[in-house]
Amino acid sequence: MKQLKGRDLLGTADLSTAEITGLLKLARQLKTKELEIECNKVLGLLFYKASTRTRVSFTVAMYNLGGQVIDLNPSVTQVGRGEPIEDTARVLDRYLDILAIRTFAQADLETFAKYAEIPIINALTDLEHPCQILADLMTVEECFGSLQGQTLTYLGDGNNMAHSLLLGGALTGLNIRIAAPEGYEPKSEIVRQAREIAGGRSEIVVTQDPVAAVEGAQVIYTDVWASMGQEDSAEGRIPLFQSYQVNQKLINHADSEAIILHCLPAHRGEEITIEAIESDRSRVWDQAENRMHAQQALMASLLGWD
């Protein structure tokens, strides 16, 4: 994956189809230990929002690569006291080899990338979560042997996860159906971009009908109804989203071999029932594990491992 050396991953569509295929292959080789990569580099984690999976999986992935990790917690660094991104980015660039950022505005991430030469990774913004999508695609491929021609239905808020799934699906030939309540659909420019990328080779559907969206799907995917930063509207969303809950009644409309994914953290009883997340169709723990393998492959590639 030499072509990824020195690049940033700010959004899913920064990667080509071939690059995603290559990263998934490398991630599989790392998972099975067919391959071990040693690159003694330093990763910075700059997270303005909470995280369990992303924080820990990036940390362990870098340790597995023989590198070091520095947690740049905004509450104990000057970034939390308003030091401009332009200044922070140029300084961190002199110390670190690679930097993963979790923040609110995509524009802030882009400013970091503009002022730092080192690879910058989107570890979640309000717009996208591309690292999660690499793990999701890896999990679907593990379960079905291929992505092309399978259908993934995402139910719930048209949020960062919905956006990255649309783009990741379009790039890999995975059909994507998004079922969201009126007013909570994914951004129209992302849907347009996904359709352009798919070019008619795979299905990109946005609907308000959860039952039609799940019909015959191989993958049922959901996420919280209120994302980080939207806590104030969480209560009000519950009645609007109720018919999008992943429960047995809805699962009955999917393919009989369908799997259930959730990026986690999950709110049991809201977007997914306990029965669904704990069922034998659930692959959420494999999906969470795959974050580590996918990000190890990603970092090795951005750092120019060969």
Query: What is the DSSP code (8-state) at residue 186?
Result: P
H/E stretch holding 69 reads strand 68-71
The H-assigned helical ranges of the chain are 17-31, 53-64, 85-95, 106-115, 130-144, 160-172, 188-198, 210-214, 234-241, 248-251, 274-277, 284-302
Cα distances from 274 to residues 20, 67, 142, 263, 278, in angstroms, run: 33, 38, 24, 15, 6
CB 100 within 8 A of CB 123: yes
Q: What are phi and psi of 274, to 5 degrees?
A: -60, -45
Torsion of CA 85, 90, 94, 95, to 10 degrees: 0
Task: Say which of 28, 97, 131, 132 is annotated catalytic.
Answer: 132
Give the binding range for ligand NVA (CB under 6 A) out of 19-27, 63-71, 197-205, 219-227. Answer: 219-227
By CB under 6 A, residue 223 contacts ligand NVA: yes
CB 134 within 8 A of CB 23: yes
Contact set with ligand CP (CB under 6 A): 51-54, 124, 132, 263-265
- Residue 51 vs 68, nearer CB to ligand CP: 51
102 annotated active-site: yes
CA-to-CA distance for 219 and 281, rounded, in angstroms?
10
Of ligand CP, ligand NVA, none, which one sits near residue 52, judging by CB under 5 to 8 A according to partner kind? ligand CP
- Residue 191 vs 300, nearer CB to ligand NVA: 191
Among 9, 27, 161, 197, binds ligand NVA (CB under 6 A): 161
Among 72, 89, 174, 224, binds ligand NVA (CB under 6 A): 224
Question: Which residues are registered as beta bridge partners of 120?
Answer: 99
132 annotated active-site: yes
163 annotated active-site: no
Q: How far is the CB of 277 from ligand CP (least distance, A)?
A: 14
- Residue 160 vs 245, nearer CB to ligand NVA: 160
By CB under 6 A, residue 127 contacts ligand NVA: no
90 annotated active-site: no
By CB under 6 A, residue 123 contacts ligand NVA: no
- Residue 121 vs 198, nearer CB to ligand CP: 121
Among 159, 175, 218, 287, binds ligand NVA (CB under 6 A): 159
Question: Which residues are registered as beta bridge partners of 153?
Answer: 177, 220
Residue number with the smallest Cβ distance to ligand NVA: 227
Q: What are phi and psi of 47, to 5 degrees?
A: -115, 115
CA-to-CA distance for 3 and 24, rounded, in angstroms?
15
Of ligand NVA, ligand CP, none, which one sits near residue 295, judging by CB under 5 to 8 A according to partner kind? none
- Residue 216 vs 229, nearer CB to ligand NVA: 229
Q: Name the site residues for ligand NVA (rule: CB under 6 A).
A: 124, 159-161, 223-224, 227-228, 263
List residues with catalytic annotation.
Answer: 102, 129, 132, 223, 263, 291
